[in-house]
Amino acid sequence: MAFIKPTQPKGEPEVDLGRLPRHVAIIMDGNGRWAKRRGLPRTAGHAAGAETFRTIATYCKDIGLEYLTVYAFSTENWKRPLEEVSAIVGLLKKYLLESIEKMERDRIRLRFFGDLTPLPQELKELCGRTNEISKGYDGMQVNVCFNYGGRDEIIQAARAFAAACAAGERRPEELTEEMFGGYLYSAGIPDPDLVIRPSGEVRISNFLLWQSAYAEFYFTDVLWPDFSPEELRRALAAYQGRDRRYGGV
């Protein structure tokens, strides 16, 4: 059995690589505060956050995680100043352009959760292309939630099911949890086992509401740009110490 030793002071928990969660989801929070503490504009916090995302995604791939889902932009984030919204959209584009080669090399699958229609045409095409290229790959799957909201996702799914019923393709009484899951952005992907929220906030903020029904949650005060592989190992070790009962005893 393989273990990784966190580079932590003695006594820190170890992570059993044979018992990793299949799917880890992260709310990348605290970029603004990280920047403020350094007297930098919030956009600098997002740039640092995008680097952290790259580091953490690479680490997850290295340890053999199957699915990583990150919350990059919520349906509520449009309320932010235009400059900040543009910066986040720009970072997504930069990240995709810089990652295509690596994704090919590591056979990373990329999927987007959210409504991409309001994005600039060029970025939409880039998202579509990276998604298409990676469909045939078999490496770690990264899901980027962009213009994503958990309630919005459920509403979209309910509408799609209702439309299928109206078209005579489905009947309301045949709807099961499993079938409903097939209408969500996450269709075909196992539910997250572990949801991590850094930055000291202890709430779900409309993230994977349906999918996280039985997830374990891990909260830390560390701000996202400071979130390191060591922090992730702490979260994984905490997860491995949990007793998941799914409503049983």
- Binding part of the chain for ligand FPP, among 9-17, 48-56, 124-132, 150-158 by CB under 6 A, reads 48-56
Q: Quote the least distance from Cβ 31 to ligand FPP, whole Å.
A: 4
For the question of residue 143 being annotated catalytic, the response is no
For the question of residue 243 being annotated catalytic, the response is no
Q: From CA 82, how far away is CA 72, in angstroms rounded?
A: 16
Q: Interface with ligand FPP includes 46 (CB under 6 A)?
A: yes
Q: Interface with ligand FPP includes 33 (CB under 6 A)?
A: yes
Q: Interface with ligand FPP includes 93 (CB under 6 A)?
A: no
Q: Interface with ligand FPP includes 119 (CB under 6 A)?
A: no
For the chain, counts of helices (H) and of strands (E)? 7, 8
Q: Quote the least distance from Cβ 238 to ligand FPP, whole Å.
A: 22
**Pairing outcome for strands 3-4 and 15-16:** antiparallel
- Binding part of the chain for ligand FPP, among 24-32, 102-110, 118-126, 127-135 by CB under 6 A, reads 24-32
For 94, phi and psi rounded to 5 degrees?
Answer: -60, -45
> Crossing angle for the helix pair 42-63 and 82-106, nearest 10 degrees?
20
**Pairing outcome for strands 141-148 and 67-74:** parallel
What's the start-to-end Cα distance of the chain, in Å? 28
Q: Is the dihedral of CA 93, 68, 199, 145 positive or negative?
A: positive
Q: Quote the least distance from Cβ 27 to ligand FPP, whole Å.
A: 8
Q: Interface with ligand FPP includes 61 (CB under 6 A)?
A: no
Residue ranges in contact with ligand FPP by CB under 6 A? 28-33, 46, 49-50, 53, 70, 72-73, 77, 88, 91-92, 95, 144, 199
